[in-house]
A = this chain, B = another copy of it.
Amino acid sequence: MGNLTTIALLSGGLDSATAAALAKESGHKVIGLSFNYGQRHRRELIAATNIAKHLELIEHQIINVNLAAWGGSSLTDMSQSLPDKGVVETTIPSTYVPGRNTVFIAIGLSLAEARNAQNVVLGINAMDYSGYPDCRPDYLEAFQNLANLSSKAGRLGEKINLWAPLIKWKKVKIIKEALRLNIPIESTWSCYSDMKSACGICDSCRIRDAALKEIGRSDLCSKK
């Protein structure tokens, strides 16, 4: 296992940090990859950089891909308001950035191929964000199939594995694993807002805070 290389997509949030730490724990050489896609704030990228340092990743790439140029999401479009109902939405949320995960995973595969990496590890999970069409197991399966056909590695019989260890985990389990792996939860950034500290109101903050309270760690909540 010691010779495996893994690309970890790092959003700056808790989930992707946990996924990267799991790859590290498995003995992989881990390369971080983050995206400046025109998100509302740079806090995500600062958090991603801090996590890459904390996990002592061998490399951390930050690439510009300005999906905000064509709008369509409340996460990149300042004229739309953020959801703050604190419940998991049953329709596709307004924070959905068109095709974001597909673009990010495609770029992850490009870096994996350039570095001869065997894995791309993703923090996506289908449980808490079922409203997102591109966080589901069948989506990931279809992408694996595409990856097998598209890459030089796939063609030569060495496949790049899309690895989503958290895909069926509930937030409570993710947080327990993050604590076990010594991830500095306070350094991660999951909030949708562009405030100086996490808002505690948006869906992302509320789901995270509810899980922290459930395991008796309300000291780590956005709003104490």
Contacts and interface: CB of A to CB of B under 8 A. Distances in A.
B155 A150 contact: no
B146 A113 contact: no
A133 B114 CA distance: 15
Contacts of A98: 109-111, 113-114, 151-152
A150 B92 CA distance: 12
Interface string A95-114: 01111111101110111011
Given A66-B63, A133-B154, A155-B92, A109 B102 contact: yes
Q: For chain A, give the interface size range.
A: 35 or more
Contacts of A133: 149-152, 154-155
Interface stretch (A20-28, A134-142, A208-216): A134-142
A61 B69 contact: yes
A49 B70 CA distance: 18
A65 to B, nearest CB: 5
A71 B155 contact: no
Interface in A9-58: none
A83 interface: no
Q: How many copies does the complex hold?
A: 2
Q: Is the interface of A mostly helix, strand, loop or mixed?
A: helix
Contacts of A111: 70, 98
A70 B115 contact: yes
Contacts of A109: 98-99, 102
Nearest to A154: B133
B139 A72 contact: no
Interface in A68-126: 69-72, 92, 96-103, 105-107, 109-111, 113-115
Given A152-B96, A155-B92, A102 B146 contact: yes
A69 B63 contact: yes
A22 to B, nearest CB: 23
Interface of A: 61, 63-67, 69-72, 92, 96-103, 105-107, 109-111, 113-115, 133-134, 136, 138-139, 142-143, 145-147, 149-152, 154-155
Given A67-B110, A97-B110, A133-B152, 7 more contacts: A70-B111, A99-B109, A99-B151, A102-B147, A102-B150, A139-B149, A142-B150
